Structure 1
Amino acid sequence: MESALPVVVIGAGPQGLAAAAHLVERDVPIVVLEAGTDPASAVAEWGHVRLFSEWPELIDTAGARILEPTGWSAPTTGYPTGAQWISGYLAPLATELGDRVRYGARVVGVSRLGRDRLVDAGRSDQPFTVHVQPSEGEEYRLQARAVIDASGTWSSPNPAGADGLPALGERAAAELLSYRIPDFRDRKGFEGKHTVVIGSGHSAVTAVLALARMARRDPDTTVTWVLRRATAGNAFGGGEADELPARGALGIKAKEFVDAGLVSLVTGFRVERVTTDGDRPVLVAEDGRTLTADRVVVLTGFRPDLSFLSELRLELDPTLQAPVRIAAEVDPNVHSCGSVAATGAADIAQPEPDFYLVGAKSYGRAPTFLALTGYEQVRSVVAELAGDHEAARRVELVLPDTGVCGGAGLFDASGVSLGGACCAPPAQLLQIGRAPAAV
């Protein structure tokens, strides 16, 4: 019977493991499918980056309850790196979940048993089919009573091209570009060289800061920070208005380095083409300007991978690719001030019953996701799946004020903000972006 089937959780990252912990507490059978070889494999790729959320904001309540009987103690202060988040919480939680977590198990498709996307008859009565490609062996299929997609967006970075598609020549030059925050402890790859960083979010700011510190020690190290928008007034984050102090400090320090001449800030540079000069990448803007670098770091955000969900019936916002009920709350073009409301099962439910997008993937392309938001989502979703509808409706989270104003900020020289301003005059517009450090 379908009731005996497990809930399948896609992804063993922070939200996937939290969902599993809540399901275990409610005695719901589960299978967690993780494409990587270890828990939180995406986090491990930016393990060298320090988060700007403190430890208490990074630990899910159900996860803590499962770990406490083992003698584990929750860290209470400090800002961990991604690696420390794994070793101090995520890996121990995965260990306690045991063989419920399958590694090297990449989900390549989700559908309904015997029903493609077009079929209405009996659709909701059929279990889900989850197609899995293991790292070794042949593809197999699992049946599930519900599916929670916590696969995140890390595997789908945005390109350098200003129109959302790879710039002309970008794919051919891919080996010369990086789409992740580099590990700057490897100084030989950057010292004495010219690095261009493309992007306006906290990933970009984090990279710019590390490079600027190198440039302060070594005058032969040069840094260019490229923004697509025409002005730089909103490129430095929430500053002192940010209730996550470590996040606000990033932008403050970046502005100091720009003002000191350690970072060259180039605005209105929208990449149209990537060429090469020997083994050096050359960026060509839509207006004909060029930048030649030794290294190019593209940190323009992420987008959800929806390819393996093509046989499901989803209702996503046409702009953000996020569930429509939360789009207005998270859209940086619309939601321009203060905190983003907590979201639960009712907000992220889909026309496909018992299928949920959670975590960073539920925000689509929006840059304001926090780990706390995902933990509240999975708590509510699991309560709904367990039949505890009152708990699913209840809100158990108050998010910190992000200090975000003005939506997408001043994009064109006309001075017109994409989202308008409700907190400050245009000269003080603030913008934060998604980054590993923004978890």
Structure 2
Amino acid sequence: MSDSCCGTVAVEIEQFATPQQAASGPANDLPVVVIGAGPVGLAAAAHLAERGLDFLLLEAGDRVAASVAQWGHVRVFSPYRYNIDAAARRLLEADGWTAPDSDWLPTGAELIDDYLAPLAKLFGDKVRLGTKVTAISRLGYDRVRTTGREQVPFLIRLADGTELQARAIIDASGTYTSPNVLGASGLPAHGEHEVFVDHALPDVLGADRDRYEGKRVLVVGAGHSAATTLLALAELPDTPITWAIRAGDAGRTYGGGEADALPARGALGTRLRVHVESGRIQLLTGFFTHRVDATDQGIQVISRDPSGHEQSVTVDQVVSATGYRPDHSIASELRLDLDPVLGSTRALAPLIDPNRHSCGTVPAHGVDELAHPEPGYYAVGVKSYGRAPTFLMATGYEQVRSVVAALAGDWEAARDVQLDLPETGVCSSNLVEAQEQRVGLATGITGGLLAAPLPLTTVGASAESGGSCCG
């Protein structure tokens, strides 16, 4: 019992159901719905198929891995041996697929063509393209109603008004479609939505070249996606480049050079430093974007730091490489327990805290750390990391392996979580040197997110970083 402003009320102490308990009701006959046909979503489908669990894979885009396709021109710095899920490999090889060179660093487009599209083809009509999820709830239950909740199916509403039911949901929708704002305080800069601002990793040397060549360009952000764009812009003739960061210097972006634990990252920072020191790229430090105005002279971007000091720059194009954040709005009627800082589950947050961990030091984690008070709902992949920029695609693969094992009732396998992080593989200087000889120094991203791109970016990156240590 508890006293309240309006009298004495009863307080119910609730014990949340496990996925196995939740799956024991009528909803057990329904499919598991996977949201997002990117690398991690397709890996989830592969594990579900191996376990003999019925599923549907819903992709909002008009093609498999639609978010990856947006940065298809970028080369990741993790080789194929870290980018292919084990269950997916088994299914593909059983179908006669020949794996690409395990040491090759694929572009996003190659990752789709050589791996993700063939994998999706195995699942036939279980993969539904152009199918955008707009809301998730429980059939007949809003978020407040408790008794019997775990026994009823999930209700999934689609953009066309169609509704589906599911026994469980694996949300691998990523964060690529919810970039951080340009404004320095986490709020949109004044006028930001009235002026065209390009988001991270435009195809500067390819499809978007005409938009940038010969133009004055501002890149905002201190992460590896910003560095990738800056290096590409530096190859364009007659293209003045300004780089704006909130920090007092660019040391974090430059990294450790030859001493960097990730040689590819160190090489990226070294190249960027050379351009800044030569004057090819103008660096503005202590830049807190406050206002964006369209003027007769171009786009004026005004900084106002915490002391009130202002500085401004006028350009023709603005690239916002300020990272991404998770959008949990589709699950607003579910019972989520989110960390107030990162937006991950509360249990996962201390394991991925970017103040304490890099991509290679995140501890093994699985279904227990990904669970919410809403049994049967799991956000996985880069979305599970919230704003933490330490995600690796290999981590996402192990997440879905653990979650699917739990949904199958195999708790021994679900809790036997093993992470083979690529500190001694992807981060090997020998690997990077060999790859440079084959394709030149790769510049890349992890997309929604993948593994460890050369210049990394992560869909879950923090407001200024626009990237992560390892993609």
TM-score range, shorter chain: 0.7 to 0.9
Q: Which of 247, 253, 260 is matched with 1:229 structurally?
A: 247
Indicate the SS of the match to 2:234.
Answer: helix
For residues 26 and 434 of structure 1, do their structure 2 counterparts lie closer, same or farther at Cα, with a shift above 3 Å needed? Answer: farther
Q: Which of 134, 140, 149 is matched with 1:123 structurally?
A: 149
CA distance in 1, matches of 2:256, 2:81: 21
For residues 17 and 244 of structure 1, do their structure 2 counterparts lie closer, same or farther at Cα, with a shift above 3 Å needed? Answer: farther
Asked if the contact 1:9–1:33 (Cα under 8 Å) also holds between the matched residues in 2, the reply is yes
CA distance in 1, matches of 2:117, 2:358: 36
Indicate the SS of the match to 1:235.
Answer: helix
Asked if the contact 1:328–1:335 (Cα under 8 Å) also holds between the matched residues in 2, the reply is no
| C-alpha deviation, 1:252, in angstroms | 2.5
Indicate the SS of the match to 2:34.
Answer: strand
| C-alpha deviation, 1:242, in angstroms | 5.0
Letter in 1 for 2:71: W
CA distance in 2, matches of 1:242, 1:102: 43
For residues 298 and 325 of structure 1, do their structure 2 counterparts lie closer, same or farther at Cα, with a shift above 3 Å needed? Answer: same
Q: Which of 266, 271, 284 is matched with 1:266 structurally?
A: 284
Matched, 1:294 2:320: no
Asked if the contact 2:357–2:390 (Cα under 8 Å) also holds between the matched residues in 1, the reply is no
The aligned residue for residue 66 of structure 1 is 91
Asked if the contact 2:390–2:469 (Cα under 8 Å) also holds between the matched residues in 1, the reply is no
Matched, 1:180 2:200: yes
The aligned residue for residue 213 of structure 1 is 235
Indicate the SS of the match to 1:382.
Answer: helix
Letter in 1 for 2:59: E
Instruction: Tell me the TM-score normalized by structure 1.
Output: 0.87
| C-alpha deviation, 1:244, in angstroms | 4.5
The aligned residue for residue 421 of structure 1 is none
CA displacement 1:220-249 (0-9 Å, x = unmatched): 321111111222221224544555543343
CA distance in 1, matches of 2:333, 2:184: 30
The aligned residue for residue 224 of structure 2 is 202
CA distance in 2, matches of 1:212, 1:437: 23
Letter in 1 for 2:70: E
Q: List alignment gaps of at least 5 residues for structure 2.
A: 1-25, 428-461
The aligned residue for residue 78 of structure 1 is 104
CA distance in 2, matches of 1:13, 1:279: 41
The aligned residue for residue 112 of structure 1 is 138
Q: Which of 28, 46, 58 is matched with 2:53 structurally?
A: 28
Q: Which of 347, 351, 354 is matched with 2:376 structurally?
A: 354
Q: List alignment gaps of at least 5 residues for structure 1.
A: 404-430
Matched, 1:6 2:31: yes
CA distance in 2, matches of 1:48, 1:272: 31
Q: Which of 350, 368, 371 is matched with 2:390 structurally?
A: 368
| C-alpha deviation, 1:2, in angstroms | 1.6
CA distance in 1, matches of 2:259, 2:158: 45
CA displacement 1:303-333 (0-9 Å, x = unmatched): 0111111000011110111111111122223
| C-alpha deviation, 1:377, in angstroms | 0.5
CA distance in 2, matches of 1:236, 1:72: 40
The aligned residue for residue 437 of structure 2 is none
Instruction: Tell me the TM-score normalized by structure 2.
Output: 0.82
For residues 77 and 400 of structure 1, do their structure 2 counterparts lie closer, same or farther at Cα, with a shift above 3 Å needed? Answer: closer
| C-alpha deviation, 1:160, in angstroms | 0.6
Letter in 1 for 2:314: T
Asked if the contact 2:382–2:396 (Cα under 8 Å) also holds between the matched residues in 1, the reply is yes
The aligned residue for residue 159 of structure 1 is 181
Asked if the contact 1:345–1:384 (Cα under 8 Å) also holds between the matched residues in 2, the reply is yes
Matched, 1:254 2:276: no
The aligned residue for residue 81 of structure 2 is 56
For residues 45 and 336 of structure 1, do their structure 2 counterparts lie closer, same or farther at Cα, with a shift above 3 Å needed? Answer: closer
| C-alpha deviation, 1:19, in angstroms | 0.2
For residues 242 and 233 of structure 1, do their structure 2 counterparts lie closer, same or farther at Cα, with a shift above 3 Å needed? Answer: closer
The aligned residue for residue 97 of structure 1 is 123
CA distance in 2, matches of 1:279, 1:139: 46
Asked if the contact 2:370–2:380 (Cα under 8 Å) also holds between the matched residues in 1, the reply is yes
For residues 279 and 388 of structure 1, do their structure 2 counterparts lie closer, same or farther at Cα, with a shift above 3 Å needed? Answer: farther
The aligned residue for residue 38 of structure 1 is 63
Indicate the SS of the match to 1:285.
Answer: strand
Spell out the pairing of 1:326-345 with structure 2 (5 A cutoff).
326-335=348-357, 339-345=361-367
For residues 314 and 238 of structure 1, do their structure 2 counterparts lie closer, same or farther at Cα, with a shift above 3 Å needed? Answer: farther
Matched, 1:275 2:297: no
CA displacement 1:21-56 (0-9 Å, x = unmatched): 000000000011110111000000111111121111
Asked if the contact 1:44–1:83 (Cα under 8 Å) also holds between the matched residues in 2, the reply is yes
CA distance in 2, matches of 1:321, 1:187: 36
Spell out the pairing of 1:397-436 with structure 2 (5 A cutoff).
397-401=419-423, 433=465, 435=467
CA distance in 2, matches of 1:289, 1:114: 54
CA distance in 1, matches of 2:122, 2:468: 25
CA distance in 2, matches of 1:70, 1:160: 46
CA distance in 1, matches of 2:115, 2:336: 33
Q: How many residues align?
A: 402
Asked if the contact 1:202–1:438 (Cα under 8 Å) also holds between the matched residues in 2, the reply is no
Asked if the contact 2:321–2:466 (Cα under 8 Å) also holds between the matched residues in 1, the reply is no
CA distance in 2, matches of 1:126, 1:87: 39
**271-280 vs 118-127, which deviates more?**
271-280
**227-236 vs 359-368, which deviates more?**
227-236
Q: Which of 288, 302, 318 is matched with 1:284 structurally?
A: 302
For residues 162 and 385 of structure 1, do their structure 2 counterparts lie closer, same or farther at Cα, with a shift above 3 Å needed? Answer: same
